[in-house]
Chain A
Amino acid sequence: MTVVLLGVAAFLLLTLLLALIRIWRGPEAADRMLASQLFGTTGVALLLVLAYAHSWPALMDVALILAVLSVLAVAAFVTRVVRIDREDTAEESGNAESREEPHV
């Protein structure tokens, strides 16, 4: 099974590289932002497969952190680069942000 898992990992790496060509070519900044989302799913899958292939549980923690950080990267990007916070009036975007907080 380890060999199969390593094969899957190699394949995922290949799709990640292909997708990175699109990220590199852009053309818009938003297309490049998709890189973060890409690492949030393909990267997580790759790390999980490697964690199981090598029985290296610490990689699962890396996968978890990667998923969480990918959202933060996008959030930073949309507020600093594209400035969606300046697109709307300040108060309504503030409301929207607080409404999007997941609460349990």
Chain B
Amino acid sequence: MQPAPASPIATFAARAVMLAVVWWMLTVGDPSAWGFGAVVIALVAALSVLLFPPSIHRLRPLGLLQFMAYFLGHSVIAGVDVARRLLTPSLPIKPGEITLSLRLPEGGPRWLLANTLSLMPGTLSVHLEENQLTVHCLDTSDAIEPGVRQAEFQVARAFGITLDPPEGVRA
């Protein structure tokens, strides 16, 4: 069931390509920066393979694109939601916390979900311990859990992990 981790050489190559893209952005495409850049990229990629060995959870390009679309759409909703509450004279908030059990494996996926939720409508990750995530909610009279489950599903898809789609959420 669990896929095997990628080989160290494939991981090295993938990370080196990614670092090269970042280097290209940072140096704004200056050709004279590549001599130094090649050395740095090789060293950093090698070091990253040593420090963070290949994980079975790799980002999938298609899933990552779908996740980014979901993320962008929902961060707009989040901003508009906060704006609407702020501009309503009665200030309709009802702060509180809920604790949920995550179904994601630990490591990168859980970390990505916790950080994503802080930017999603009405949720703020407060505490992550084992698989128990405590979320601070702007309004506990809203249904919080379906939104969290949907974000969890999107993160799982970005990493190519299969979860059962949560009830009431379109897969």
Contacts and interface: CB of A to CB of B under 8 A. Distances in A.
Interface of A: 57, 61, 64, 92, 96, 99-104
B150 interface: no
B149 interface: no
Centre residue among A100, A101, A104 by max chain B CB count within 10 A: A104
A68 to B, nearest CB: 12
A102 B107 CA distance: 9
A99 B128 contact: yes
Given A57-B28, A96-B129, A103 B110 contact: no
Interface string B104-127: 001110110000000000000000
* Majority SS at the chain A contact face: loop
B28 A102 contact: no
B28 A99 contact: no
B48 interface: yes
25 contacts: A57-B28, A61-B26, A64-B26, A92-B129, A96-B128, A96-B129, A99-B106, A99-B107, A99-B110, A99-B111, A99-B128, A100-B111, A101-B52, A101-B111, A102-B108, A102-B111, A103-B48, A103-B52, A103-B55, A103-B107, A103-B108, A104-B15, A104-B18, A104-B48, A104-B52
Given A100-B111, A101-B52, 5 more contacts: A57-B28, A61-B26, A103-B107, A103-B108, A104-B48
Contacts of A100: 111
3 smallest beta-carbon distances between A and B, as pairs = A103-B52, A100-B111, A103-B108
Interface in B2-53: 15, 18, 26, 28, 48, 52
